[in-house]
Amino acid sequence: MADNDDIILRDLNDDDLVEQMKDDLYDGMADEVFEGTQILLERGWDANNILSEALVEGMRIVGVDFRDGILFVPEVLQCANAMKGGMGLLRPILAKSEHSSSLGKYVIGTVKGDIHDIGKNLVGMMLEGAGFEVIDLGINNPVENYLKAIDEHQPAILGMSALLTTTMPYMGVVIEELDKRGILKELPVMVGGAPLNQEFADAIGAHSYGRDAAISAELARALVGQNR
Ligand code: B1M
C-alpha cells in the first residue's frame, strides 16, 4: 500500500481500505485507523468484522515483527494507541446490550507484572454487550486488588487476563488465595490471554478459559446460567 500521505482513504475499495488500515496500524497512525474504522462502519460493515479483519489482524502482524526484533516497544506502543483509536469507535456498538436485564457484575483485570490491556478491554466490551456490568481493574493487579473488588462489588464472575508466559502463573496464585478464603466455590473464575490454553486453565483450577472476546462473552453467560 502507498504511504498514507498520498492516498484518500475514502477512495479505496473495502479490500484495499482494510489493507491500508493494517499498514496504518503498523505505522501507529491513530487518526487514519480511526478514519478507516469510521468509513467501514458507514459502508455497513459489522463491528466484529472490522475488529477481526482490520484491527486484530493488524495487531497480529505487529506481534510477529515485535517477536522478530523488527519493531520495538516504543513503536508497538504507538500501534497499540492506533488500535485503541479504532476500538474507541467500535466500543459503543459492541457494548450495546442486546439483553434487557443485567446478568450481574463481572470484575476483570490484567494480572500483576503485566501491562497488556487491549485484549482485556475488548473482552470487557463484549461482556457489556452480553449484559454484564463490567468492573475494570486495569493492569498490573496484585491479588489484593482482586480481593478488594470482590468484597466491594460481589461480582457474578471474576476474570483475569495475562499476555506473558512470565505473568500467567500469577493467575494460579490468585485462584489459590480465593480457594484458601472459601471464595472459589462461590465465584466462577475465567482466565484468558494469548499464551494460555484450556490445559493451563484446568491446571490452575479456573472454571473457564476464554480463547477470544466473543467466545468469552458466551462462556460468561453460560457460567451464570444464561446460555442462549
Ligand atoms: Co508485549 N508481548 N511486551 N507489548 N505484546 C507480546 C504479548 C509478545 C507475544 C510479543 C512477541 O514477542 N511476539 C511477547 C510475550 C512473549 C511471551 O511471554 N511468551 C511480549 C513481550 C515480550 C513484551 C515485553 C516483555 C517487551 C519488552 O519490554 N521487552 C513487554 C512487557 C511489559 C509488561 O507487561 N510487563 C511488552 C510490552 C508491550 C507494549 C506495552 C509495547 C504493548 C502493550 C500495549 C497495551 O496493551 N496497552 C505490547 C503489545 C501491543 C504486544 C502485542 C504485539 C499485541 C498484544 C495485543 O494487544 N493483541 C503482543 C503480540 C501478540 O499477542 N500478537 C505482545 C491484540 C489483542 C486483541 O489480543 O491480547 O491476545 P490479545 O487478547 C485476546 C485473547 O487473548 C483473549 O481475548 C482477546 C480478544 O480476542 N483474552 C481474553 C485476553 N484476555 C482475556 C481475558 C479473558 C478472556 C479472554 O477472560 C478474563
Look at 81-85, 140-144, 192-196 and tell me which has the smallest mean pLDDT.
81-85
Average confidence score pLDDT of the chain: 93
Cα–Cα dist 119/143, whole Å: 20
Binding site membership of 107 for ligand 1 (Cβ less than 6 Å):
no
Residues of the chain above pLDDT 70, percent: 94
- Among 62, 66, 75, 197, the mutation site with the greatest number of ligand 1 atoms within 8 A of its Cβ is 66
pLDDT at 225 over 70: yes
Query: Ligand 1 mean position to 172 CA, how many Å?
Result: 19
- Among 163, 209, 216, the mutation site with the greatest number of ligand 1 atoms within 8 A of its Cβ is 163
159 falls in which pLDDT band (50, 70, 90)? very high
Angstrom CA distances, 94 to 73, 113, 159, stand at 29, 29, 19
pLDDT at 227 over 80: no
Count of positions (residues) in the chain:
228
Which atom in ligand 1 lies closest to the alpha carbon of residue 120?
Answer: 84
Check residue 94 and give its pLDDT.
84
99 falls in which pLDDT band (50, 70, 90)? low
Check residue 228 and give its pLDDT.
39
Local structure of residue 185 (DSSP, 8 states): T
pLDDT at 4 over 60: no
Cα–Cα dist 126/191, whole Å: 15
